[in-house]
Amino acid sequence: MKKNQKFLSIICGIIAAICLSVTTGDGRNPASACPPNEGTAGKEELVILCLGDSITAAIYPKKLQVSLDRAGIPAKVFNAGMGGYTSGHYLGFMKSFNLFKAIKPDLVLLKLGTNDARTDFASTETAQFVENMEGLIHLIREELYEQSPPLVLISTILPIIPQPFVFTERSARRVVAEINPAIREISDRLNIPLVDNFTLFKDRPEWLEDGVHPNRKGYQAMADNWFTSITEAIAKKTNSSRRTGFVGDEFYLQHNPGPEHPESAERLKSIVRHLEKRGLLGQLIRIKPRPAPLKWIATVHTPQYIQYVQEAYHRGKRFIHSRDVSISADSFEVARWAAGGVLQAIDAVMAGQVNNAFCAIRPPGHHAFRDRASGFCIFNNVAIGARYIQKKHGLSRVLVVDWDVHHGDGTQDIFYDDPTVLFFSVHQFPLFPGSGAAEETGKGKGKGYTINVPLPAGSGDREFVAALREVLKPRALEFDPDFVLISAGFDAHKDDPLGGMEVTPEGFAEMTRIVKEIAEESCYGRLVSVLEGGYSFPGLAKSVEAHILALKE
């Protein structure tokens, strides 16, 4: 059972009560209101690991266990408090002794810093304290639990009543002026819930037995404070992490179009690094990509083209069709994985495992034609996804929203005469690839099912948002899609070196909200967003963050 599902099942009793009161009038499955298949309270135990010094090593974890037992929350609390340890000691301890892998916690309660404030050999400079804590959080979040990291909660440290030695007047001052502000700053910057045990003890000196350690009443108050924060954090994590999936994999870095090429592996690295730093990656449900079976790629591309791509590198070709689609040895496989990631995300949405998902994949796809590569694109990931939705999942109508700064010419061409796929593109015009005029609206039965909104260079949030709200939304609701795909390029960002637009991350967030509204009003929120362009690394990373946060709202 996935960790996120475990969170779900544990508080499912509470959710089930809420869900009982949720009904829909049209008989449709209210997928967004209530998690499916989680109807009975789970027997899974929540594993909680308490890290800290002698204050943790004493009895608060035991009292916390009692509170959880009383509340009927199946949980096992492990006490890893180490008397006398500073943040530096603890980081060294964790690096040498792999406690996380042994215990596999769902939740880590982190309370360190009291010994760092000592006025003796153990004293730690505040900057070093921050570095140690970040190292520890990084170990917990990323290195040991890449797929599903535990939720970390961080506590402020207790006030100190000054003693003549070790915990002196200076220590007491540092707690207030340096250590706790640093902890608050870490909580804010890394998006880690804060448990404020300092404020709890601030006006209760009688709860401190020896000026540093709590007495029984103090430990009970601490345990109660942790308990409240844990139940809040679980509810929040359940509500948020349920919704949005994330497709990513190191294999996507293997497509190497050459040193000067803007579509570099660094794009994905900068996204993942930024989401990790913001603590967002751990809140998403990771979807493991697989290579797309060739039969699904062949629903869009001709067999000759697929074979050509498969053999190109080994026949000595270093680009496909156009020099900007340069390739390396693994490019064919990586392109299969890019399409495959979209298919896995669609499956996860259809299975109710997530409500929506973002695919951090490359190479991009929207310039790829049935039988031709173009504009950094090999296989048209979104088009393959649309056909998969129709043929594998039996849905009729798919909406594709393309807000990449470049016109999605490949996607448009593939569905140009097809009334089952509504293709909408807003883009800079004129710009590569040169198509995308407002007069291009489809042909034959597909007439009216292609919508282009060309915008002049210099357009920004206002123009893009208006295009989606005023042009796309009414047409999309009339079309009534069964599934929505986004060709999410972020090269309309104001700092992008290839585009000339002024869109900000908040603009991308607002565009996301509009597409989500369409999905919610027409198809239970079924939405998969697929990365296309975006070549300013910081601009791309921040825009993806804003986009994912809006998907999670």
Which residues sit at the interface with Zn ion, rule CB under 5 A?
404, 406, 489, 491, 533
Could you tell me the smallest distance in angstroms from the CB atom of residue 525 to Zn ion? 26
Q: Which of 127, 134, 132, 246 is nearest to 190 (CA)?
A: 134
Q: Which of 427, 405, 411 is nearest to 536 (CA)?
A: 405
Determine which one of 367, 407, 427, 547 is catalytic. Answer: 367
The two counts, helices (H) then strands (E), for the chain are: 21, 13
Report CA-CA distances (Å) from 506 to 36, 284, 463, 490, 503. Answer: 32, 20, 13, 12, 8
Q: Which of 472, 292, 296 is nearest to 399 (CA)?
A: 472
Spatial distance between the Cα atoms of 204 and 184, rounded to a whole number of angstroms: 21
**Contact residues for 317 (Cβ-Cβ < 8 A; gap 6+):** 327
Edge-to-edge strand ranges of the sheet holding 244-247: 285-287, 244-247, 356-359, 527-531, 483-488, 398-402, 421-428, 450-455
- When the beta carbons of 461 and 532 are compared against Zn ion, the nearer one is 532
Residue with tokens 């209760």: 204
- When the beta carbons of 208 and 265 are compared against Zn ion, the nearer one is 265
With CB atoms as reference, the residue minimizing the distance to Zn ion is 533
Give yes or no for a cis peptide into 363 (omega within 30° of 0).
Answer: yes
Report CA-CA distances (Å) from 113 to 54, 100, 184, 190, 402. Answer: 11, 20, 12, 18, 49
- When the beta carbons of 408 and 446 are compared against Zn ion, the nearer one is 408
Could you tell me the smallest distance in angstroms from the CB atom of residue 100 to Zn ion? 40
- When the beta carbons of 413 and 491 are compared against Zn ion, the nearer one is 491
- Let me know: does 64 contact 111? Beta carbons within 8 Å: no
Spatial distance between the Cα atoms of 405 and 435, rounded to a whole number of angstroms: 12
Q: Which of 239, 287, 175 is nearest to 38 (CA)?
A: 239
- When the beta carbons of 145 and 358 are compared against Zn ion, the nearer one is 358
Neighbouring C-alpha atoms within 13 Å toward the C-beta of 472: 32
Question: What are 121's two structure tokens?
Answer: 């050999």
Question: What are 352's two structure tokens?
Answer: 């109710």
- When the beta carbons of 159 and 489 are compared against Zn ion, the nearer one is 489
CB neighbourhood size of 33 (10 A): 13
Neighbouring C-alpha atoms within 13 Å toward the C-beta of 441: 5
CB neighbourhood size of 70 (10 A): 9
Question: What are 435's two structure tokens?
Answer: 């198509």
* Phi–psi pair at 394, nearest 5 degrees: 70, 20
Active site residue 367: yes
Could you tell me the smallest distance in angstroms from the CB atom of residue 414 to Zn ion? 17
- When the beta carbons of 56 and 452 are compared against Zn ion, the nearer one is 452
**Contact residues for 466 (Cβ-Cβ < 8 A; gap 6+):** none
Taking each helix axis from N to C end, the angle separating 60-70 and 216-241, rounded to the nearest 10 degrees, works out to 60
Residues catalogued as catalytic? 367
